[in-house]
Amino acid sequence: MKAAMRARDAARLSALRLLLAALQQREVDERVELSDADVVSVVEKLLKQRRESIAQFEKAARTDLAEAEKYEVQVLGAYLPQQMSEAEVARAVETALAEAGASGPKDMGKVMGLLKARLAGRADMGKVSALVKTRLWG
């Protein structure tokens, strides 16, 4: 935050203040000190909100606002653990399918429960869910 202030990078500073406010709000709401996993979940939630906003702005032809949101996604994304490659995600999905003994769509919840614990913050769970669906529905 201090580096952004010194560099007079207003957009970066705004994104960092937003993140800090969200973290402090969650700590106050839950009356606990946030763990690393909690911080990752807050960052993921903010990223999801930004991506939804980008889609809405692009649909409304507001490229200026969409670009601002994309910059915030880039800034906030730096605070997530390194993302897994698609091959690593596919291997994790295969492992979870085998462990859960998944045979059809009814086992989706069981498989996603296993994967959410393992991949939180390291993979886009929307893409993981789509991959599991394609594997279960054939």
What's the pLDDT tens digit per position in 74-111? 999 898 888 888 899 999 989 988 888 877 788 888 88
125 has a pLDDT exceeding 90: no
Whichever domain contains 37, its CATH number is 1.10.1510.10
Q: In this structure, what token pair is assigned to residue 82? A: 């390194």
Please determine, for residue 9, whether its predicted confidence score (pLDDT) is greater than 80. yes
**pLDDT at residue 127, rounded to an integer:** 87
Tell whether 63 and 6 lie within a shared domain: yes
Same domain, 16 and 73: yes
How far is the C-alpha of 92 from the C-alpha of 2, rounded, in Å? 38
The span from the CA of 14 to the CA of 99, in Å, is 44
**97 lies in which domain range?**
86-137
Report the number of distinct structural domains present in the chain: 2
CATH code for the domain of 131: 1.10.10.410
Residues 55 and 33 in one domain: yes
Judgement on whether residues 16 and 34 belong to the same structural domain of the protein: yes
91 and 68 together in one domain: no
Q: Please give the pLDDT value at position 138.
A: 67
**Residue found by looking up tokens 């045979």 in the block:** 103
Q: What percent of the chain has pLDDT over 70?
A: 99
Q: Is the pLDDT of residue 57 over 70?
A: yes
Is the same domain home to 11 and 73? yes
pLDDT at 123: 85
The answer to whether 70 and 62 have CB atoms below 8 angstroms apart is: no
| Contact yes or no for 93/131 (Cβ under 8 A) | yes
Please report where in the chains the tokens 């960092």 appear, as a residue. 16
Q: What is the pLDDT of residue 103?
A: 79
Question: Same structural domain for residues 8 and 71?
Answer: yes
pLDDT reported for residue 83: 85
Q: pLDDT exceeding 90 applies to what percent of the chain?
A: 45
Q: Are residues 128 and 98 in the same domain?
A: yes
Say yes or no: 53 and 118 in one domain.
no
